[in-house]
Chains A and B, each alone.
Chain A
Amino acid sequence: MKTSLFIMIVLVSGAFAGFIHGTVNFAIVEPYLDQAIGIENQNLFASGEEEDTPEFWVEYEGYRVWQKSGQIVSGVILGMSVGSLFGIVFALSKNTLPGNNMIKKAVILSSIMWFTLYIIPFLKYPANPPTVGDGETVVLRAILYLSFIAISGLGATAFYKLSKKFQNKRKFIALISYAVFISVVFFAMPENPDKITAPMNLVHEFRIMSVLGVTSFWISVGLILGFFWNRFESHKETTPHYT
């Protein structure tokens, strides 16, 4: 496949999947964000940091519209970004992935990446709505979250390479080794330093919706890139061979 075509289908599939992610979030996550920000505003009034005045609400509506409109825009940007990583990994691994067509192979890979790059880090550092989180610790939390994603992803890659050295059923040794490795990392990594002060039912429901949104991205990006790859793949050379 030509370099330009490869880059184009990776970016377009990421953008489409990101658009779907943003749209799903807009439908199911936004109500929880509004609810959490409402609590945050009440806390600001109660603490005296802000006053419940018409001027406050005019300013609030101004930036809240900007934030909401960014849901889909940033979904597309994030989709192109994560979709680029997915495209690189897919291009390098597609011949060793199970499945008899590119769509199946891409969905299998997107499932693996969803689990190792999202679900495992999420179990340690789950998403939180506004009102949860101290601004003083945001850099530490970002470092912890990014580090765990990197460790999980690189660990999965290393144990995948290890599995190639084993035959048949012994490949499970690599899978079990990854499970042991990531469990040790899971318990060794520091906890999120911030206490949760928002109602727990709001936090739990927000997290469920967050998982559904991100899952919609990973399903979409696998299906769309696999479809494009099948559609535009023009590299099969047919060579007559006589015996």
Chain B
Amino acid sequence: MSELRQINVSKTGVSKLAIVALAIIFAAGLFVVGFDQGHIFSLVYGEQAFADLYIHELTHDMRHAAGFPCH
């Protein structure tokens, strides 16, 4: 007597493209929120960005609350 069974085959592969894209987002986001001291805007505004600290001030409260050294 034949027996019908179902086998669930789970594909676990994740594309390398997805891992690279998410790794870039991880590093960029961590730098913006945790460590930027004017570096990103300095690419456009030069030395003035290190005085204005727009991103630093925007992330200031989260930076303290999440445990990153702020100033």
Chain A interfacial positions (CB closer than 8 Å to B): 1, 3, 6-7, 10-11, 21-22, 25, 29-30, 33, 63, 66-71, 73-75, 77-78, 80-82, 84-85, 87-88, 91-92, 94-95, 118, 121-122, 125-130, 133, 135, 138, 141-142, 145-146, 209-210, 213-214, 235-243
B57 adjacent to A63 (CB under 8 Å) = yes
Contacts A78-B34, A81-B26, A127-B66 supplied; 6 other A-B pairs, CB < 8 Å: A33-B61, A78-B29, A81-B25, A133-B69, A135-B71, A145-B68
CB contacts (< 8 Å) of B3 on chain A: these are 242-243
Given A84-B25, A128-B64, A235-B11; A240-B35 close (CB under 8 Å): no
In the bound complex, what is the Cα–Cα distance between A125 and B66 (angstroms)?
12
Within 8 A of A (CB), among B5-62: 5-12, 14-15, 17-19, 21-23, 25-30, 32-35, 37, 57-62
Give the interface SS of chain A, mostly helix, strand, loop or mixed.
Answer: helix
A29 adjacent to B5 (CB under 8 Å) = no
Given A138-B69, A243-B2; A3-B60 close (CB under 8 Å): no
A81 adjacent to B18 (CB under 8 Å) = no
